[in-house]
Structure 1
Amino acid sequence: MERALAFLLLVTLAGCSSPAKDVVHSPASDPRVAGARSIPTPVPQRPSSQVWADYLIVDKSERLLIAYNNGKPIRAYRGLKFGDAPSGHKRFEGDERTPEGIYRIDTRNPRSSFHLSLRISYPNSQDRAFAAQYGRSAGGDIFIHGQPTGYRGPPLQGDWTDGCIALTNEEIEELWQIVPDGTPIEIRP
């Protein structure tokens, strides 16, 4: 028991750095996503699965991630876990917040400290400029990932990351297969 608690404490301290709505709006019909159209879209490498996502929306207040293909929802994941300070936009390294805004999935790491990880392109130039005004770092290495590598227990409860988005291992395995690098991700408050 002590060993399991020590492992859990270590995972919690390590962080990520080293009721839902029934109506789902398409990104094309949601006025909050209008800015997403202005982002140049590179041609993504299509994953091997037949159905693939071309846009992700994370609703932090609903703890919901929706994957879209051509404006239609294809997958939804509920019960997301964030950092110890889940409200508000990430401003500085160590603030344990998840960024808000439009970013991209810019790479993937099959050998991370957490079961599979998809990196979010935070910080952007505005994030870095804001942090620099205060003489601080904006941080980085924000991922969507599963449970800690090697952890064999049930999914960790509560918010336990340092600003990442945590899913169950089964959920990240599915998301990993349907999300190509370059996919836009909109993270809403």
Structure 2
Amino acid sequence: MARRRLLAVFALAGLGASGVVAADALQIGRTEPLLVPEPERADRILVEKAARRLTLLRGETVLATYPISLGFTPTGHKTREGDGRTPEGTYAIAYRNPRSVAHLSLKVSYPSPADASAAQARGESPGGDIMIHGLMNGFSWAGRLHRMMDWTQGCVGVTNAEMREIYARVDTGTPIEIRP
């Protein structure tokens, strides 16, 4: 009898957990964070790959700092599609995506014209879809564990809670500098 109850408890827990994962994957109940008032928004983003750090700045004032994960081959500048590298250089936030496959996302304007020309000269695609984003939908349970390794395809990954904060403080057109 006790064994049946234990099995029933595990079955209900598994069902509940799968429901949470499904709701996360389907973005059920997700809302887009509103932009904070202008004086609280970042006017520049700094990503330091070696330090695994993203910093939101307004003038010389640090608004917030976040630990990050990078592309699965983090060293060096992105040169082609599929290389697993996070680009280096100065770009801008091209758009905000509230229905991203990775919680929320901010599109980085990579490739620049120079990136595209260099890749074309080599006969390669420079790649694209470089984002600052939260965890992949359905994986919010991983939380800070994602920082144990570089796992993106070349993006900058943060937790979903951190992404909500960043998303609310960064508007389209905000410059982003990505350093080695």
Q: TM tier, shorter chain?
A: 0.7 to 0.9
Q: Any unmatched runs of 5+ in structure 1?
A: 8-45
- Kindly provide the amino acid, as one letter, of the partner of residue 170 in structure 1: A
Which of residues 54, 58, 68 in structure 1 aligns to 2:43?
Answer: 54
- Kindly provide the amino acid, as one letter, of the partner of residue 94 in structure 1: G
- 5 Å-filtered alignment, 1:21-36, equals none
1:182 aligns with: 173
Which of residues 82, 85, 101 in structure 1 aligns to 2:70?
Answer: 82
Q: Any unmatched runs of 5+ in structure 2?
A: 1-13, 22-33
Cα-Cα RMSD: 1.9
2:136 aligns with: 148
Deviation track 1:63-108 (CA, whole Å, cap 9, x = no partner) reads 0111111221111112x11111000000000001000000001101
Q: CA deviation at 1:112?
A: 1.1
CA distance in 2, matches of 1:137, 1:108: 24
Which of residues 160, 168, 172 in structure 1 aligns to 2:151?
Answer: 160
TM-score between both structures, scaled by the size of structure 1: 0.73
Deviation track 1:32-67 (CA, whole Å, cap 9, x = no partner) reads xxxxxxxxxxxxxx9334511000100000001111
Q: CA deviation at 1:152?
A: 3.8
CA distance in 2, matches of 1:108, 1:61: 26
1:114 aligns with: 102
CA distance in 1, matches of 2:130, 2:140: 23
Higher helix share: 2
Q: Do the aligned residues in 1 keep the contact of 2:96 with 2:171 (CA within 8 Å)?
A: no
Structure with larger Rg: 2
- Kindly provide the amino acid, as one letter, of the partner of residue 134 in structure 1: R
- 5 Å-filtered alignment, 1:90-105, equals 90-105=78-93
TM-score between both structures, scaled by the size of structure 2: 0.77
CA distance in 2, matches of 1:88, 1:161: 15
- Quick check: 1:125 aligned with 2:113? yes
- 5 Å-filtered alignment, 1:134-145, equals 134-145=122-133
Secondary structure of the 1:153 match is: helix
